[in-house]
Structure 1
Amino acid sequence: MITNNIYIKLLGTICLSIGLVVIVFLSSERQVHRNNAFTRRYPPHPVVKQYDLDIGFNSYYIAGLDKDMLYLGNRTSPWHLLQVNLETKDTSHIQLAPRSHTLEYRAIKVEVLPPYFFVMDGTMPIILRGKIGEWLADPWMREQAYFNKAIPIDSNTIYIRTTHATTHRSTLGLIQKKGEHIKVQLDTTLLQAQIDGVFDVDGLLAKDLSGTKLGYVYYYRNQFFTMDSILASLSRQRTIDTVQRAQLKIASKGNSGRTILAAPPLYVNRTAAMSKHLILVLSQRLGRNESKELLGQASIVDVYDHTKNTYEFSFYLYDIDKHKVREFTVGQNRIIALIEDHLSVYLMTDRYFNAVPSRETERQMP
């Protein structure tokens, strides 16, 4: 009888422990998308959907924009571009080619910056450049700078993120070409480490269409910063979210000692785009009085004025067949979003995106 009582108590303790773990887990899952510490402002109709366009595959990514022409690269067919006329909705397929077929590559990314296009692989490393219309790529840089992210900002300058050879931390920089000479400029002060200087500073490169303003948006903290095209005039800003420190669980893998993420990270900012004085940040976090059902129907985009250090307003980009926005870009008076195998095109209301806010409506960042 005593033994049975002990077993019953043990079983009860185990069930209670499991129940508490489940409750804590469900509570933490709710907190991933819930933060009552901030309130968004939703003005009426800042964007209006123009149309959705079926592009056939979900492997496309945004490679560039030239007025009404959108260029999409393809992860599974790296030498292929899809050209989309945003005005007429006409599409055409473009086959890129290297002029030299002896080049080696592993992970190609294409970026279109009129009048050129760039083919980049930071693992080899190699960068090729060619003219739009000719679609033949010549070597622009070979084996002089490794990188893991890169976007061209003019015909002879590439904005990169790389791993510093000495510190082994992520670092931002520029690759510049003058004649046949390549110059690599790195600035180790831009990315601010909180944990390891690699995972905790992960984020995305951004630039405005003119290439005169550069940005970096952290994935796992409520911060982004902007600079000019030579990595100067630095301005750091916080988003309306309150997660100031990256919430990551990092572990070592095997005997190699290579670090990996031991659990899915908490994303504060998923993707972003710059447009003139504004930076648009897609968030998956709910603020005060926002329904959790909302995230099952749309993505939230928060708009900041990086010249005034202000939060301006927010709006929705709606899901298609329960698929969410992967990335988006801004051009002229449009927002173009990739959602699974569709393109969503929204028109931007001029009075919200181009108006200079009055002092009464400015919202200063903490």
Structure 2
Amino acid sequence: MKKYSRTLLSVFVLSLFPIGIILAVYFYNLSKISYNFQRNIDYNVLEIKAFDLGFNSYYIAGHKGNKVYLGNYTIQNILEIDTSLTDAISHQIDYAGSAKGLLHRVQVDSNHFYLSYGPDKSLYHGLTGTWKAKAVSIKHPYFYNVTALNESAFIYEYVSSRTQENSLRKMSKFQSEIENDTIFEKQVDGLFCTAGTSVFSRKNRLFVYVYFYRNEVLVIDSNLKLVKKFSTIDPISRANVNVSTIESTGAKVLASGATIVNVRCAIWKDYLLVQSKIIGKHEDELRFKNSTVIDIYDLNNSSYLSTLYIPNQQEEPITQLSVIGDHIYTLSGRYLSRYTIKWPDL
């Protein structure tokens, strides 16, 4: 009987070896693909509600009260959906001018909306009650993104003709033009290495810029002066980009293999939400890949606070992120999703 027990114990111990090897390999591989920083992770999604838009060509244009507004990359309409994601109404945008045939990007800010198309230097403004827009009568540069501070002042993100690098310019009806073509720190080429995503905090009147390829956030006032900069939680402080030049045109192109650090951002109260693509120490690779990982920072003291793991919808990656009230709204494929969050104790 004792011999049988010893044999059984030996078989049991030996059976654990393959499991141990599998776990060892798993954690070894995880350590290779992760970085040496650790997140404070909160799995606090209480409810998820999705709205089928029918098409994957929508983007979040803004919100007003209990309404979410979506623009469309293929038609110049606006889709109005209540924040509970139950009813939708489509509005035709009416505007005239030399750029009418171009598909403009729509931004909604409370009672106002804006149409912009950088390659044509065109910008329109109107009221959401009528959805009729008129051309904004101030000078515009060629731009790739514009942020409306109000109906008469705008911050443009563009490529400076002097430096051929990313720059900022403010144009206003009541103020002289302000340009800052040294606001972004060049590491490689000044174009791809300084590329990023931006959001305007209306509460604090601050323009926040998050680099795509490095762990840095710039906080800029409405006159384009740098208020402060701080680092995101990951350790990638230098942009890992390879840039080539096309000889026939002189245009710069981004080669493959660039390490994307931060993808998009949003503002909630006094906090900055940044979607990260960098996995940290002890994080599960599969869960990381199937979630949108949002790091939360305090804009007042520039500190990292915690991280939300939000599950992706319909196996589609999230392409846009917005916070309306206390809910997070995302776009993934043809679905607009609303996440009810138990926010961390901030």
Question: Does the alignment reach a TM-score above 0.5?
Answer: yes
Counterpart pick for 1:145 among 141, 145, 170: 141
Question: How many Å separate the matches in 2 of 1:129 and 1:72?
Answer: 17
Deviation at 1:107, TM superposition (A): 4.9
Q: What is the CA–CA distance in structure 1 between the aligned matches of 2:48 and 2:30, rounded to whole Å?
A: 34
Give the share of equivalent positions with the same residue, in percent. 24
Whether 2:305 is the aligned partner of 1:312: answer yes
- Cα separation, partners in 2 of 1:257 and 1:103, compared to 1, 3 Å: closer
Separation of aligned partners in 2, 1:33 and 1:193: 29
Answering whether residue 161 of structure 2 is matched by residue 168 of structure 1, we say no
TM-score, normalization by structure 1? 0.81
Structure 2: runs of 5+ lacking an equivalent = 1-28
Structure 2 partner of 1:86: 83
1:339 corresponds to: 332
In the alignment, what sits opposite 1:135?
Answer: 131
The answer as to 2:40 corresponding to 1:52 is no
Kindly report which structure 2 residues correspond to 1:133-212, keeping only aligned pairs within 5 A, or say none.
133-141=129-137, 144-178=140-174, 183-210=176-203, 212=205
After superposition, the C-alpha distances for 1:213-261 in whole angstroms (9 at most, x for unaligned) are 2100100001111123222351101011111111111111132221111
CA displacement 1:177-220 (0-9 Å, x = unmatched): 23xxx843211232111011111100112112436121001000
| 1:109 corresponds to which of 90, 95, 105 | 105
Is 1:126 aligned to residue 122 of structure 2?
Answer: yes
Q: Distance in 2 between matches of 1:102 and 1:36?
A: 51
Contact 1:126 1:141 in 2 (8 A): no
- Superposition deviation, residue 88 in structure 1: 5.5
Distance 1:81 1:172 in 2: 28
Partner of 1:96: 93
Task: Summarize deviations over 1:116-150 as a string: whole Å, max 9, x none.
Answer: 11001111111110111111110104663221111
User: Partner of 1:256: helix, strand, or coil?
Assistant: coil
Deviations 1:324-366 (A, max 9, x none): 11111112211111111111112233563xx4xxxxxxxxxxx
Asked whether 1:75 is paired with 2:68, we answer no
Q: Which residue of structure 1 lines up, in the alignment, with residue 11 of structure 2?
A: none
1:262 aligns with 2:255: yes
Letter in 1 for 2:227: L
**Does 2:268 match 1:275?**
yes
Q: How does 1:8-19 map to 2 (within 5 A)?
A: none
TM-score, length of structure 2 as denominator length: 0.86
Deviation at 1:151, TM superposition (A): 1.7
274, 285, 298: which one aligns with 1:292: 285
Once the two structures are TM-superposed, the CA of residue 108 in structure 1 deviates from its matched residue by 1.5
Alignment-mate amino acid for residue 134 of structure 1: T
What is the CA-CA distance between 1:155 and the residue it aligns to? 2.0
Q: Is the 8 A contact 2:139 2:171 kept in 1?
A: no
CA contact (8 A) 2:218 2:226 kept: no
Cα distance in structure 2, aligned partners of 1:216 and 1:310? 16
Q: In 2, Cα distance between the equivalents of 1:92 and 1:125?
A: 30
| CA distance, structure 2, for counterparts of residue 256 and residue 265 of structure 1 | 23
SS at match of 1:287: coil
Contact (CA 8 Å) 1:317, 1:325: kept in 2 or not? no
Q: 1:89 to 1:211 in 2, by over 3 A?
A: farther
Q: Unaligned regions of 5+ residues in structure 1, if any?
A: 1-29, 356-366
Deviation track 1:24-72 (CA, whole Å, cap 9, x = no partner) reads xxxxxx8999333100001352x43341111111111111111211111
